[in-house]
Structure 1
Amino acid sequence: MRILLDECAPRPLKRELADYEIRTVVEMGWSVKKNGELLRLMSQEGFTVLLTTDQNLRYQQNLQQAGVAVIVLVASSNRLPDLIPLMPDVRDVLNTIAPGDVTEVASS
C-alpha cells in the first residue's frame, strides 16, 4: 500500500505512519497539481490511498473512477497537534479501506 499525504496536511504527519510507504505531494513534485490531475498521477504511480484534510474533495472528484481510496482527517485545525490523535483510527481504516472509498476520521 502506497499512501500520499496531501499538501494541506502537515508534512511531519508522515512520521506517524512510518511503517507504511508514504510520500508527500511536495516530495513527489506535485504541489501545483489540481485534484483531478493529482488523482490521475497517484493512480499512475501506484498510490492507493490519499490522506488529506480537504473535506470537499469527495464532492469535486469522481473518486470511484480515480481508483484510489481517500482518508479525510477532520479536526479543529490541520495543525499537527490536532491531527496526531487521529492516527490510531487512521491505521485501523488503512486495514479495511478499498479503492474508491472515502472515509472520514474525526476527533471525538
Structure 2
Amino acid sequence: MRILLDECVLRPLKRELSNYDIRTVVEMGWSGKTNGELLQLMAQADLTILLTTDRNLQYQQNFQQARVAIVVLIAPSNRIPDLVPLIPKARHVLETISVGEVVEVGRS
C-alpha cells in the first residue's frame, strides 16, 4: 500500500502517518494537476490510496477504473489541529480499504 497525500492536505500531516509509505503531491512534482491527471500519475507510480479533504472528488472520477482507493478526511477545515484527531480512524481505514472504495473519515 502506497499513499498519496493530496495537495489540499497540509504536508505536516505526513508526520502523523510516518509508519506508512506516503508521498505528497508536491514531492512527486504533481502540483496543479487535475484530478484525472493525478489518478493516472498515481497508477503509473503504483500509488494505491489518495488521502484528501476534497469531498467532491468522489463524485468526479471513476476510482475502480483508476485502480485507487480514496480516504476523505471530513473536518471543519484542513488545518492540522482539525485533522489530527481523525488519524486513528484513518489508520484503521487505511488497513482495510480496497481499490475502488471511497471512505469518509470524520468525528463521530
Interval of TM-score (by shorter of Structure 1 and Structure 2): over 0.9
Letter paired with 2:51: L
Identical aligned residues as a percent = 69
Letter paired with 1:74: I
2:34 and 2:8 map into 1 onto residues whose CA distance is 12
Q: 1:1-108 to 2 correspondence within 5 Å? A: 1-108=1-108
1:15-67 deviations in whole A, cap 9, x for unaligned?
Answer: 01100000100000001110000001001100010000000001111111111
Q: Secondary structure at the match of 2:103?
A: strand
1:32 and 1:82 map into 2 onto residues whose CA distance is 24
Q: Secondary structure at the match of 1:33?
A: coil
Letter paired with 2:82: D
Q: Which contiguous aligned blocks of 4+ residues in structure 1 show a shift greater than 3 angstroms? A: none
| TM-score for the superposition, normalised by structure 2 | 0.98
Aligned residue-pair number:
108
| TM-score for the superposition, normalised by structure 1 | 0.98
Q: Secondary structure at the match of 2:96?
A: coil
1:19 and 1:59 map into 2 onto residues whose CA distance is 30
Residue segments in structure 2 that go unaligned for 5+ positions in a row: none
